Every structure is written in structure tokens, then in C-alpha cells.
Amino acid sequence: MRAAGTPPQGHGAAAGPAATPQRADWTIDQGWERYSAAEHAVWKRLFERQCRLLPGRACEEFVRGMRALPIGADQIPDFRRLSEVLLRHTGWQVVAVPGLVPDEVFFDHLAKRQFPAGNFLRRPDQLDYLAEPDVFHDVFGHVPMLMNPALADYMQAYGEGGRRAQSLGVLANLSRVYWYTVEFGLVQEPGGLRIYGSGIASSFRESVFCLQDPSPNRLRFALERVMRTGYRIDDFQETYFVIHDLAELLELARVDFGPVYDQVRGKPEYQPGQVLSSDQVIHRGSGSYHGAKRRS
Ligand code: HBI
Ligand code: FE
């Protein structure tokens, strides 16, 4: 866990899966009836402050997805009701898990168009950051985008590709693609850059940082490039990758990653803040934010 005052809302392999599960697929009951009034109140705080930030920052599809779903300020959403709506739109469902689950389990859910969402909520002293994906990150951040057909197919393709990447020894490369799209992706809209990544959309401070701060790089998304780029799991990203539109994800879902893995295998990793001469630069970051931290 990092110092107070530091940022976001991503999650990586840092926390590690919870204890041994009762069911093989790690699902549990959401236990919606057991949320306390205090937990619903924390949800409300998170929901309201994030909803104030997202107009003009979140992409159109995120806003539209949110609007069509039974997600509101007053209570933590009930996964059964979310699933009814999602199923009708894109064939996805939300299932409850205790937190991070092993990679294989995560992939198998996504391959079946089931999104595993943490059923617990962060404490009031963790509003800005916690390492594990909780119900706010998973539901507020991910579920609206699962209403979008392109992202819905892309997520399933990631689940299907995950096991293959493991067996080929290239899971790290695939994980970077997931990280820089599903979790921290930006999309170019006519009005400017917008957020579609769930790690950003569920983070109060990174929602502003990723678009308005001069520090991070904003580069055109390129598959091989991203596969070779390390990322930060415990702070704001140093680089965001920008797609043209969400249809680009649909194309990506159809690409055979096999030959791309062959291209990147064994090649050195780029640092999270590095800019290459081959990059299409939208904004070259000053690096001031992470630079100041490295000096202190
Ligand atoms: N488990 N619940 C949950 N949520 C995730 O996003 C998640 C996970 N397990 C593994 C994982 N993500 C990633 O490390 C994989 O995409 C590689
Ligand atoms: Fe996530």
C-alpha cells in the first residue's frame, strides 16, 4: 500500500490472490443484503465525486453504458440486476469473487463472458487507492464499458488468449496490452482525448492527471510497442496509449497475436516513461511528476 496522497486505482499482481476458494471458479455470493449502511455511504461518496469528474473526460460509450445500467449513488449495485441488463446488451454477466483471483481463473471467466468483480468495498480511509480490485473499481470502472460491443468482444478475446499466452511464456506481454487498454486506455474523440480505461475511470486523481497533467506521455497505441512496455502498478502511469476509436479494440480482438509474440520475444523491455523515435507522439510528457518522486 502506498503513502497517503498518492494516487490511483489500478491493480496488478501485487496483492496476490486471497485464500483458498470454496468453488473451483472462485465465485462467491455477492451477499448484497449484508452491505452495511456505512458501506453504501462510502459507495455514494465515491460515486458522486467520480460522476462530477467524468463529463468531458470519460468517453461517450462509458457515459452511455453507465446511464443504461442500474448503477446509482444510493446503493452498491446488485450484480444480479447488472447481469440482467448486460446479458441483454452484450451477453456479459457479473460474478462475485473475493478479490484478485489466479490468472487462469480470471481468464476462464472472461472467456465465458463473465466479469469477476470483487464483492468488498474499500474503507473510508482508502478512497483514493487500494491494491486489490474492489466493487467500486470493478463495477464503476469496468461494467459500463462491457455494455460496448467492441470492448465486450475484446475482453473475451483477452480471456481466450490468456491461457495461450501462458503456455507460450508471453503472459507478461499480453498483460501489458490489457493494462494499457482495458485498465489505462485513452481514446481520441472529436472533442479531444477521453478515458475508456477502467483503472482511470474509477480513480479520482488519475482521471484528471491522465488528461490534464503535463507530466505523462500520450502516445499512439501500437501493439508490439505496448507489448514491450513496462507499467506502474503503484502510481499514476508515466505513459498513456491512445486508440483512434473503440472499433480499434475489435480489430485487435481479431488479430492473431502469435506472430507478434514471435516479434517481441526476447527483446528488451522499454521503461514506462520512455519515448522512442518510432512513437507517434500526441503529447510528450515533461516527466515532472515521477521525476520529482525519484529525486525525493
Ligand atoms: N483477478 N479479480 C481479478 N481481477 C483482475 O483484474 C485480475 C485478477 N487476476 C489476475 C489479473 N487480473 C491479471 O493479473 C491478469 O490479467 C494477468
Ligand atoms: Fe480492473
133 Cα to the center of ligand 2, angstroms: 6
pLDDT over 80 (residue 6): no
- Residue 120 and residue 15: Cα distance in Å, rounded? 15
Taking Cα atoms as reference points, which of 140, 31, 148 lies closest to residue 78?
Answer: 31
User: Angle, to 10 degrees, between the axis of helix 257-264 and the axis of helix 171-178?
Assistant: 110
Strand-by-strand arrangement of the 239-243 sheet:
192-195, 186-189, 239-243, 217-220, 281-283
pLDDT of residue 18: 57
Mean pLDDT of the 255-275 span: 96
pLDDT over 80 (residue 15): no
pLDDT of residue 288: 97
The residue assigned the cell 448486460 is 86
Cell matching residue 270? 522499454
pLDDT of residue 21: 84
**Average pLDDT taken over every residue of the chain:** 93
pLDDT over 90 (residue 158): yes
pLDDT-derived band of residue 7, with 50, 70 and 90 as boundaries?
very low
Sort 91 into a burial class: Cβ within 10 Å, 0-12 / 13-18 / 19+: middle
Taking Cα atoms as reference points, which of 40, 119, 111, 48 lies closest to residue 79?
Answer: 119
**Cβ 182 under 6 angstroms from ligand 1:** no
pLDDT over 80 (residue 32): yes
pLDDT of residue 14: 44
Taking Cα atoms as reference points, which of 158, 171, 188, 165 lies closest to residue 253?
Answer: 158
pLDDT over 70 (residue 10): no
Phi-psi region of 68 (alpha: psi -120 to 50; beta: other; left: phi over 0): alpha
Which residue, by CA, sits nearest to atom 7 of ligand 1?
Answer: 100
User: Angle, to 10 degrees, between the axis of helix 149-168 and the axis of helix 103-111?
Assistant: 140
82 Cα to the center of ligand 1, angstroms: 20
Mean pLDDT of the 127-146 span: 95
- Which amino acid appears at position 51 of this protein? C
pLDDT over 80 (residue 17): no
pLDDT of residue 131: 87
Q: Which atom of ligand 1 is nearest to the CA of 117?
A: 2
pLDDT over 50 (residue 1): no
pLDDT of residue 295: 86
280 Cα to the center of ligand 1, angstroms: 29
pLDDT of residue 296: 81
pLDDT over 60 (residue 12): no
Residue ranges of E strands in 119-191: 186-189
**CA 197, 199, 204, 208 torsion-angle sign:** negative
Mean pLDDT of the 45-52 span: 97
Mean pLDDT of the 215-229 span: 98
Computed on alpha carbons and rounded to an integer, the radius of gyration of the chain in Å comes to: 18
Mean pLDDT of the 238-264 span: 96
Q: pLDDT: is 294 or 284 the higher one?
A: 284
Contacts of 33 (CB under 8 A, 6+ apart): none
Residue ranges of E strands in 24-130: 93-97, 114-118
pLDDT over 50 (residue 5): no
pLDDT over 50 (residue 76): yes
pLDDT over 80 (residue 16): no
Mean pLDDT of the 274-294 span: 96
Please say whether the beta carbons of 199 and 10 come within 8 A. yes
